[in-house]
Chains A and B, each alone.
Chain A
Amino acid sequence: MGKRFLHNRTAVLTVSLVAIIALIGIFAPFFAPNDPYKTDILNKFADYSAQFPLGTDQLGRCVLSRLIYGIRPTLGLAVLTMLGTIGLGALLGIMAGYFRGIVEEIIMRVVDVVLSFPSQIMVFAVVALLGVSVQNVIIANVFIKWAWYARMIRTGVMQYRDRNFVQFSRCVGMPERFILFRHLLPSITSDLAVLASLDVGWAIINISTLSFLSLGVQAPTPEWGAMLNEAKDVLTSNPTQMIVPGIAIVVLVSCFNLMGDALRDVLDPKEAER
């Protein structure tokens, strides 16, 4: 599999690009030329220059520095959301698929109800209910997405639990917990990896949308959606301010989308031939 991964140019390129972006975000103080919070009202809307490579915004802050610091909330929150989603979805999905009976019935009915609401509305409803804050944005996104994962993982578990090697483990008398983690999880990981990388892009867009509507990350924190919200107010006087964060989002999301497709090719060659 490692070899197939290295041979897939898209997979290698996208994974390394995401890794580079993540590293830049982690070591933001090292890469950013200026302090992203330092305002200098006299130097607002500055043009591209050596000191401010992408100019300054309406408060005279360095756009490039804000963009680099913005990787942290944008990518970080999306990854956190996905971890939460997969965690919750996997837990409930495995429970439903493995223990069956009443547990499954309850979990799957809840899944049905959650999926019967349009997801976009649920995000707003949850944020409205819990109040505007970063952690609530993550909770809202996990809340609307976990059901997809629970359903998918349950199907996966049900397919695998009757396979011979799982039956064998049970006959040999291994504890249930051991069977779950040793056998079931690895066999559904590849599906999970593909779906998750496609959904990171979705999470980035969703979280930045909430920040754009001032329902998520609040100014002055440099999140890309929040930056676009600020840029919206100066649309006529400094239109270029909205170009950079937007492109950044498109590049990062495209990267995750491509990565998902490439991972599918790598992990499931049969599917790719279609």
Chain B
Amino acid sequence: MKRYVIRRLLMAIPLLLVISFVCFCFISLIPSNPAEVALRIQQTPIITEEAIAKMEELLGLNKPFLVRYVDWVLGCLHGDFGISYVNPARTVAGELVRCLPATLQLAGASFIIVVVLSIPIGFLCAIHKDGWFDKIMRGIIFISTAMPAYWVGLLLMWGIGVKLGWLPTNGNGTWRHLIMPAFTVALSYISTYIRLIRNNMLENMKQDYVLYANVRGLPQKSILIKHILKNSMHTCIVAMGMSIPQLISGTIVVENVFSWPGLGTLCISSIFNRDYPVIQTYVLLIGVLFVVFNLLFDILQTVSDPRLRKES
């Protein structure tokens, strides 16, 4: 068991290196000289050779490629992601720290909504397979997979925010601001997980252990919840956990619809401003989260399943 965990941790390291390398190459691939871009963005009136050289010095662009990469990785490990092109007084880390809480709040709330809604609905769909509830939910799921998240956001904003006036349409601060954006982010994941739990439970229902539970005369409720649901949850929790980074990256669009002051809004405005270090760090952050959450839930699955726990 311990050996398995250590092996998994070691296997993650090369992947993290590759991800960081790709992110680093990102800035080197910009068609124009980053120093020049930085100067332009700061609206320096006359861009001279010296100014570019000075900026290169400031941004550390005059060193060899690999040296810069190592410096950058070491910097990242210390939480130093460089400085923003747009406003050299600000560090990228500072910008991210400023915007991160709002995004985490949004992603966390969406995750709770996903768990709270998709598990019971998936459960009900599975036990009433082909019943009216299952059919209605299947219809809703089908439509919702075809709906772009931003449009869902607009509809909610108009219906609940403007027409009914129940919830504020933009900004953040209170939990009432949180509901609509969080639900919008959650919607596509809810449909995915309803389907996953439903199909997983139906698959489990065909297993021998369910027949034997019936043979032993266990109450229906206990078979459904204690055995079938719990067995299905194992797979689903892992899948849900692994999708957390996707949930965080999924907030980009919704944050922009609801003017939510998080990473997504920062990312889009950085794209418009060509503030490459911010985008680079954002991509790195999501990439690392992706690896970490995959690793975490993979290990969790191994620990929680008695069949896998023993081996290794």
Contact = CB atoms under 8 A, between A and B. Distances in A.
B143 A125 contact: no
A123 to B, nearest CB: 10
Nearest to A205: B148
Contacts of A131: 31
Interface residues of B, number: 46
B30 A236 contact: no
A249 interface: yes
Interface string A241-267: 010001001110110010000000000
Contact of B154 (A120, A132, A215, A228): A228
Interface in B265-287: 267-268, 270-272, 274, 276, 279, 282-283, 286-287
Contacts of A127: 271
A128 interface: yes
A212 B167 CA distance: 23
Contact of A132 (B271, B276, B290): B271
Given A125-B283, A232-B257, A118 B245 contact: yes
Given A128-B276, A208-B148, A257-B146, A116 B291 contact: yes
A209 B142 contact: no
Contacts of A113: 18-19, 22
Range, interface on chain A: 35 or more
B142 A121 contact: no
Contacts of A209: 148-150, 253
A113 to B, nearest CB: 5
A272 B215 CA distance: 32
Contacts of A128: 270-271, 274, 276, 279
Contacts of A253: 145-147
A266 B22 CA distance: 42
A27 to B, nearest CB: 25
A232 B26 CA distance: 32
Nearest to B145: A257
A118 B143 contact: no
B184 to A, nearest CB: 13
A235 B154 contact: yes
Interface string A106-133: 0000000100111011101101111110
A235 B158 CA distance: 7
A120 B252 contact: yes
Nearest to A249: B148
A25 interface: no
B151 interface: yes
Contacts of B252: 120-121, 124
Given A121-B282, A128-B279, A242 B162 contact: no
A4 B246 CA distance: 39
Interface in B23-40: 26, 29-31
Contacts of A257: 142, 145-146
A152 B268 CA distance: 33
A242 B151 CA distance: 8
B271 A215 contact: yes
A209 B264 CA distance: 14
Given A118-B286, A124-B252, A212 B148 contact: yes
B197 interface: no
Contacts of B270: 128
A118 B267 CA distance: 15
Nearest to A201: B146
A116 B253 contact: no
Given A215-B268, A246-B155, 9 more contacts: A121-B283, A125-B283, A128-B276, A212-B253, A225-B148, A228-B150, A232-B257, A235-B169, A242-B155
5 cross-chain pairs, A with B, having the tightest CB-CB distances, nearest first: A253-B146, A254-B146, A246-B151, A128-B271, A118-B249
Interface of A: 113, 116-118, 120-122, 124-125, 127-132, 201, 205, 208-209, 212-213, 215, 225, 228, 231-232, 235-236, 239, 242, 246, 249-251, 253-254, 257
25 contacts: A117-B22, A117-B283, A117-B287, A118-B245, A118-B246, A121-B249, A122-B283, A124-B252, A128-B271, A128-B274, A129-B30, A132-B272, A209-B148, A209-B149, A209-B253, A212-B150, A213-B268, A215-B271, A228-B151, A242-B155, A246-B148, A250-B146, A250-B151, A254-B142, A254-B146
